[in-house]
A and B are shown apart, each in its own frame.
Chain A
């Protein structure tokens, strides 16, 4: 009934029908779930991380936890999950099956090993099964099996480069992505090491090592497994700003393909990740929360966005915001003030209180009219008032010659 926008493009030589991939996580840990996801319209899957037979996978349940408020329970999702309990032979069978069922989709697998022969054997087996792309988890935050146990492989620049070379050597023409962690001193160093190693790209990034919570009555960490808990990998909306910085930092400094991963909860989040340098976007928490069907909104939202913006392909978004990211000292210095639209204002006084106790005491409160007004001499335009205004009635106004510019609130959707 309506014109369809073509969202397809090439990613490392692989055809993607849209930029949305199911990441290596529970949604891709069963064959029928991967099938359902691909049938729903996801452009590809990265099957949940597997390893060689000798590596036991001892899961502890309950493994999931989250934090948020009553109305938004899952701001952040935590897991103490490990890699797939299925070993490489089973994953190879699934790769072949999925490739057969979905020849036009990206069928990728994620691997994790320790010794060189493990890594390379995993790669060879997957190549034989016809995998489109291999992702290597250098950053599983829960129980590493890398060179230094207890530490993530991607936290060591040297180890990262060495292992990446092993993998790429075995992969040959098959594209390789290395999934890194944001939990490093200098993410750019890690990305440079991977570039030197000759891999095809990075997946930036992974869940963020976190402690989801502590029960204040029992002193048990969350999730609690008979009273004890471990650090979780945190995902979901809460980590999107961290992921954005990670991707932007890499993209600004290193010429390397990036697959975005971590915190995207909508098509517009995906646009943001791509705008700072991701070539596609992987999702896990969103489908784990709302199911595979969310792909319909992701694709229609993206299509509408491209139409509206006049972009021919999702590729056109990639890196579009990068030139605008600068050091704080390199920014211009607007002369700006809070500008309150009294037609929109509901008179809650939140701006007044926020400015009084956390700003510059520049908002004056008329308690009879229940109206704020701005003392221009005191207001430097910090913008705290517009963060707390519940109805977006506040903008920062700057007069540039004869023209007026507004800095508007761009937070919540």
Chain B
């Protein structure tokens, strides 16, 4: 599958780099959860110092290849770009990607000599990998545990179109070979044994469980869960979905799975069924644009009532909603209109209404009411020596925010380890 075309060539990058105002105490850098030194790396593009630009990015962020492609820049750096007050924001992420595409991460890389301390990292997604790398750079060894391979959500679920295989593999290879001492593919359910063998533990297991729709018919053939589907398609399997697909949800996962299903078969109808309106979609605008370009359609103001069918899905019965006042987040609330239900004829329903932490593991560690692990300011959980970060702490967030957590946790873990426990 072809990658979505957003890249800048050398000339475009040079011209775009000239647009940067090189702000003092730059707001873009402050807004970036990983604190990538943006004006500085852009200045290095201007001067033709691509290796220097690479070093700046790489030092701030372990997953720059991935983030150069999928980071929602309109949420972060570009949302505060001063240049927008002159005309429009600098295309920071594309400049970032230009750097990673034109340089080699392993070039002149030096890893410090390690100490005897070893930290266990549970979950090899962005938070875990960031933590592992930061620890390694501080001279602390780390071993990583995951039920699947390295990479977490971006590696297993984000489609190849958005982040191509060779890019992800290159990044994972580098991390695995240079920064991680051992990878254990096994499910960890209890931190107790780990605490005996390792100097500290970092939990970054993300949100492995998918929320269900509390309506009738979810057991019918032809009902799928979005992330399971994304993983299967990414692994190379056929999705097994039909000709008329309804995706229930309005977040990034819903939009992504809709795009992937359209890409898999452009003659298939894919409709995102959402309770609120277009403005309330919680997906990033770039992804919505991409889905729209691929021919994904939308059924807004539709509240699912039940999935219809004998053994296999034949349709989704919904009730028409209307939008009300805004809630505290600025999105409109909705309410059902009486006697307004109708049926959308479908042969497939994909559920993409949210994800949850696995609450059956790590007993003894305090959680919030939503099942997320509670941590203090230093990312330490209620159990001394056990730290946590990423989605399992903050709920579904972005790669770069997970990276921030991993980096921050590494600081605390290093201090904890150095303090002799």
Q: How large is the interface on A (under 10, 10 to 19, 20 to 34, 35 or more residues)?
A: 10 to 19
Closest residue of A by beta carbon distance from B14: A70
> Considering only CB atoms, which chain A residue lies closest to B23 in the complex?
A348
- Provide a sorted-by-A list of 10 A–B residue pairs whose CB atoms are within 8 angstroms: A70-B11, A70-B15, A346-B85, A348-B22, A348-B82, A349-B24, A349-B25, A350-B21, A350-B22, A353-B24
**Docked complex: B261-276 residues within 8 A CB-CB of A:** none
Asked if A365 is at the interface of the complex by the 8 Å CB criterion, the answer is yes
| Minimum C-beta distance from B86 to chain A (A) | 6
Question: Contacts of B21 on A, CB cut-off 8 Å?
Answer: 346, 348, 350, 390
> CA A353 – CA B39 in complex, angstroms?
14
Decide: A349 and B23 in contact? CB cutoff 8 A.
yes
Q: How far is B11's CA from A339's CA once the two chains are assembled, in angstroms?
A: 37
Asked if A367 lies at the interface with its beta carbon under 8 angstroms from chain B, I say: yes
B18 at the interface (CB under 8 A from A): yes
Chain B residues touching A, range:
10 to 19
Name the residue of chain B whose CB is nearest to the CB of A352.
Answer: B24
Does B164 belong to the interface (CB within 8 Å)? no
Please, how many angstroms separate the alpha-carbon atoms of A70 and B17 in the complex?
A: 9
A226 to chain B, nearest CB (A): 24
Residues A230-286 near B (CB distance < 8 A): none
Which of A347, A352, A365 is within 8 Å of B82, CB to CB? A347
Seed contacts A70-B17, A346-B86, A349-B25; 20 additional CB < 8 Å A-B pairs: A70-B15, A71-B14, A347-B23, A347-B27, A347-B82, A347-B85, A348-B21, A348-B22, A348-B24, A350-B21, A350-B22, A350-B23, A352-B24, A353-B24, A365-B24, A365-B25, A370-B25, A370-B27, A391-B85, A391-B86
Q: Kindly list chain B residues whose C-beta atoms are within 8 Å of the C-beta of A365.
A: 24-25
Residues of B near A350 (CB, < 8 A) are 21-24
Q: What is the bound-complex CA distance between A349 and B17, given in angstroms?
A: 18
A346 and B88 alpha carbons, distance in the complex (Å): 13
Residues of B within 8 A of A (CB): 11, 14-15, 17-18, 21-25, 27, 46, 82, 85-86
- The minimal Cβ–Cβ distance linking A252 to chain B, given in whole angstroms, is 38
Distance between B54 CB and nearest chain A CB, rounded to angstroms: 19
**Separation of A367 and B26 alpha carbons in the complex (Å):** 10
- A323 is an interface residue with CB less than 8 A from chain B: no
In the docked arrangement, what's the CA distance between A47 and B21, Å?
44
Taking CB as reference atom, which chain B residue is nearest A351?
B24
Inter-chain CA distance A69–B17, complex, in Å, is 11
Closest to B10 in A: A70
Cα of A350 to Cα of B11 in the assembled complex, Å = 25
**B22 engages A367 (CB within 8 Å):** no
Q: Which residue of B lies closest to A346 (CB)?
A: B85
**Measured CA separation A108–B17 after assembly (Å):** 45
B-contacting residues of A (Cβ < 8 Å)?
A: 69-71, 346-350, 352-353, 365, 367, 370, 390-391
Nearest A-chain residue to B46, judged by Cβ:
A69
Give the chain B neighbours of A69 by CB distance below 8 A: 14, 18, 46
Residues of B within 8 A of A352 (CB): 24
B18: which A residues are within 8 A, CB to CB? 69-71
CA distance A353 to B26 in the complex (A): 12
Distance, CA A346 to CA B24, complexed state (A): 12
Tell me which residues across on chain B come within 8 A of A347, comparing CB atoms. Answer: 23, 27, 82, 85
A349 cross-chain contacts in B, Cβ below 8 A: 23-25
- What separation, in Å, do the CA atoms of A70 and B82 have in the docked complex? 21
State in angstroms the CA–CA spacing of A260 and B303 once bound together.
76
CA distance A69 to B85 in the complex (A): 23
Shortest Cβ gap from B17 to chain A (Å)? 8
- With CB as the reference atom, state the residue of chain B lying closest to A353: B24
A363 to chain B, nearest CB (A): 10
Q: How far is the CA of A367 from the CA of B27 in the complex (A)?
A: 10
Which has the most chain A C-beta neighbours within 10 Å: B11, B21, B27?
B21
Expressed in whole angstroms, the Cα–Cα distance for A348 and B24 within the complex equals 6
Contacts of B86 in A (CB 8 A): 346, 390-391
Q: In whole angstroms, how far apart are the Cα atoms of A71 and B86 in the complex?
A: 17
Collect the chain B residues with CB atoms within 8 Å of residue A391's CB: 85-86
* A367 contact set on B, CB distance < 8 A: 25
Closest-by-CB residue of A relative to B22 is A350
CB distance from B18 to the nearest CB of A (A): 5
B15, B21, B24, B25 pick with most chain A CB within 10 angstroms: B24
Query: Measured between alpha carbons, how far is A365 from B23 in the docked complex, in Å?
Result: 12
In the A-B complex, the 3 residue pairs with the smallest Cβ-Cβ separation, listed nearest first, are A349-B24, A70-B14, A346-B85
- Once bound together, how far apart are the Cα atoms of A179 and B25, in whole Å? 51
CA distance A71 to B22 in the complex (A): 16
Q: Which A residues are in CB contact (< 8 Å) with B82?
A: 346-348
Cα–Cα distance between A352 and B22 once the two chains are bound (Å): 12
Complex CA gap A349/B30 in Å reads 14
What's the nearest-Cβ distance from chain A to residue B28, in Å? 11
Question: What's the least CB distance linking A37 to chain B, in Å?
Answer: 31
Closest to B21 in A: A348
Which residues of A lie under 8 Å from residue B27 when comparing CB positions? 347, 370
Chain A residues whose CB sits within 8 angstroms of the CB of B23 once the complex forms: 347-350
Q: How far is the CB of A71 from chain B (nearest CB, A)?
A: 5
What is the CB-to-nearest-CB distance from A412 to chain B, in angstroms, rounded to a whole number? 13
CA distance A396 to B15 in the complex (A): 31
A313 to B7, CA, bound (A): 52
Q: Could you say which residues of chain B place their CB within 8 Å of the CB of A348?
A: 21-24, 82
The residue on B at minimum CB distance from A354 is: B24
B84, closest chain A residue (CB): A346
Could you say which residues of chain A place their CB within 8 Å of the CB of B46? 69
In the complex, the chain B residue whose C-beta lies closest to that of A70 is B14
Residues of A within 8 A of B14 (CB): 69-71
Q: How far is the CB of A316 from chain B (nearest CB, A)?
A: 37
Task: Report the minimal beta-carbon distance from B34 to chain A, rounded to whole angstroms.
Answer: 20
Q: How far is the CB of A318 from chain B (nearest CB, A)?
A: 37
A352 and B46 CA atoms in complex are apart in Å by 22
Q: Is the CB of A71 within 8 A of B15?
A: yes
A350 to B22, CA, bound (A): 7
CA distance A350 to B24 in the complex (A): 6
Q: How far is the CA of A390 from the CA of B86 in the complex (A)?
A: 9
> Which residues of chain A come closer than 8 Å to B17, judged between CB atoms?
70
- Closest Cβ–Cβ distance, residue B325 to chain A (whole Å): 32
| Chain A neighbourhood of B24, CB < 8 A | 348-350, 352-353, 365
- Report Cα–Cα, A69/B46, bound state, in Å: 9
